[in-house]
Amino acid sequence: MECVDASLAPVSGEVFQDAGLIAFFLPMHTATRLAVPLIERARRVNPSARVCCFGLYAALNREHLRTLGVEACFGAEFETALVEFAEGRVVAETAHLARQRFLVPDRSALPPLRLYPQLVTGSGSSVAGYTEASRGCKHLCRHCPVVPVYRGAFRVVSADVVLADIHQQVEAGARHITFGDPDFLNGPAHARRIVERLHHEFPEVTYDATIKIEHLLKHRSILPVLRGTGCLFVTSAVESLDDAVLAKLDKGHTRADFFAAAELMRESGLALAPTFIPFTPWTTAASYRELLASLHELELVEHTAPLQLALRLLIPAHSLLLELSYVAACIDRFDPPALLYRWNHPDPSMDWLSASAMQTVQDAQREQVPRREIFERLWTLAHGKAMGDDPRPARATIPYLEEPWYC
Ligand code: SF4
């Protein structure tokens, strides 16, 4: 078996040549876009090979993937089906949520961890590993790609498997672990057990996790445990500070909840890394300016990855957003190479602002401009004038992973 990570290096056609089975793992939107030309190449180079895809985005994009010559798509609970398919058995693709008996992942064929995005802190960078203590999600946020596949289900990976996976990555050099669960507190007792064992077994290893605002408030008693077991930061998908938009997205929190969670995190000594979808069909110039002003007021400028202030609502195939007539009216067409629906804001000046914000962030990141300066450039773009002087001292940028989180 040969394992290739197409996100790290170009893939040569030779790798497909003698394969009997070629399987593409599609856990995210970007991975799927990377895979599409490779699937086409695999089909050209080796037309007799069986080709399948697996992972969350294999399930979401199965119709389009089939047009490329993919024989079967397994997701998101794929392991058993993938093995049966590899053994030549006929497998129903519909068993997306079949319960799995999780094994410790075999990472021996993957590139070394040091080639993946590192953790950056004020004192340098360190090797980061990745694991999942659960998959799927109990919640039904309307814009979320997890929802059309899991529809409110989530699956727990046993603590022994998670700890063994962490163990092998620490042995391979990891000093930080990212928990990639869609939401780490879907099972709070499970999460607590894992981080206590992680800290007991590897007291020098830090970690981060993604937790929704609703869970930060509801499970506030676990925050000191996270702080005491090496949690460096918590990513939270805030998405918007406009209550009307949050209701459309069915996010389960309000603007006031976000302010309360930000305060709670500060009191707990935990860094909050909020993520946003600033440009939606409902965004106005005033609400974008208000988002920037609120982050400034909450002293979260250095906590927010600049790209999070320029992202545009992504509408993949099967998105529940398509059920909203207002969104449906904004849709232009499905764009197969991009694997998303193109949409236009009812006010064309908002599409201009969205594109300009993205250009501003990309230019500034190329120049390696600090987060605060990028924020000031966005402020100038949104207000048509520069920010006034801020008497407060700039805060240090919180720890972050070199590759910002977004799907
Ligand atoms: S956005 Fe987060 S909380 Fe909502 S359904 Fe998706 S993973 Fe769950």
212 Cα nearest atom in ligand 1: 3
What tens digit of pLDDT does each residue of 213-268 get?
Answer: 999 999 999 999 999 999 999 999 999 999 999 999 999 999 999 999 999 999 99
387, pLDDT greater than 80: yes
Q: How confident is residue 320, by pLDDT bands cut at 50, 70 and 90? A: very high
Q: State the amino acid at position 293 in one-letter form.
A: A
Give pLDDT, residue 407: 46
Mean pLDDT of 358-386: 96
Instruction: Tell the residue nearest (CA) to atom 4 of ligand 1.
Output: 141
395, pLDDT greater than 90: no
CA of 252 to the centre of ligand 1 (A): 10
Residue 284 three-state SS: coil
CA of 188 to the centre of ligand 1 (A): 15
What tens digit of pLDDT does each residue of 1-54 get?
Answer: 899 999 998 998 899 999 999 999 999 999 999 999 999 999 999 999 999 999
CA of 251 to the centre of ligand 1 (A): 8
Give pLDDT, residue 27: 94
Q: How confident is residue 404, by pLDDT bands cut at 50, 70 and 90? A: low
Percent over 90 (pLDDT), the chain? 90
Architecture (CATH level 2) of domain 113-401? Alpha-Beta Horseshoe (3.80)
For residues 281 and 378, give the distance between their C-alpha atoms in angstroms, rounded to a whole number: 19
Q: Is the dihedral of CA 106, 110, 111, 115 positive or negative?
A: negative
> How deeply is 300 buried, as exposed, middle or buried, from its count of CB atoms within 10 A (0-12, 13-18, 19+)?
buried
Terminal-residue alpha carbon distance, the chain: 28
CA of 236 to the centre of ligand 1 (A): 10
CA of 138 to the centre of ligand 1 (A): 8
CA of 183 to the centre of ligand 1 (A): 7
182 Cα nearest atom in ligand 1: 7
Dig out the tokens for 142 from the structure.
């309307």
In our burial notation (b when 16+ CB lie closer than 10 A, e otherwise), range 208-227 reads: bbbbbbbbbeebeebbebbe
- Angle, helices 348-366/285-297, rounded to nearest 10 degrees: 40
Average pLDDT, the chain: 94
Contact indicator for 173, 139 with CB cutoff of 8 Å:
no
For residues 405 and 407, give the distance between their C-alpha atoms in angstroms, rounded to a whole number: 7
Q: Is CATH 3.40.50.720 the classification given to domain 14-86? A: yes
Residue 83 CB contacts under 8 Å (≥ 6 apart), including other chains? none
Mean pLDDT of 99-108: 94
139 Cα nearest atom in ligand 1: 5
Partners of 126 in the β-ladder: 119
CA of 144 to the centre of ligand 1 (A): 6
CA 170, 176, 181 angle in degrees (round to 5)?
A: 100
Contact indicator for 213, 253 with CB cutoff of 8 Å:
yes
Phi (first) and psi of residue 389, to 5 degrees: -65, 140
392, pLDDT greater than 90: no
144 Cα nearest atom in ligand 1: 6
Which residues contact ligand 1 via a Cβ below 6 A? 137, 139, 141, 144, 146-147, 182-183, 212, 237
Would you kindly state where each structural domain of the chain is located, as residue ranges?
14-86, 113-401
For residues 327 and 323, give the distance between their C-alpha atoms in angstroms, rounded to a whole number: 8
143 Cα nearest atom in ligand 1: 1
Phi (first) and psi of residue 188, to 5 degrees: -60, -40
Same topology for domains 14-86 and 113-401, yes or no?
A: no
For residues 130 and 368, give the distance between their C-alpha atoms in angstroms, rounded to a whole number: 26
Mutate to test the pocket of ligand 1, among 29, 132, 141 (most ligand atoms within 8 A of CB): 141
Contact indicator for 119, 206 with CB cutoff of 8 Å:
yes
Mutate to test the pocket of ligand 1, among 60, 147, 253 (most ligand atoms within 8 A of CB): 147
Contact indicator for 126, 176 with CB cutoff of 8 Å:
yes
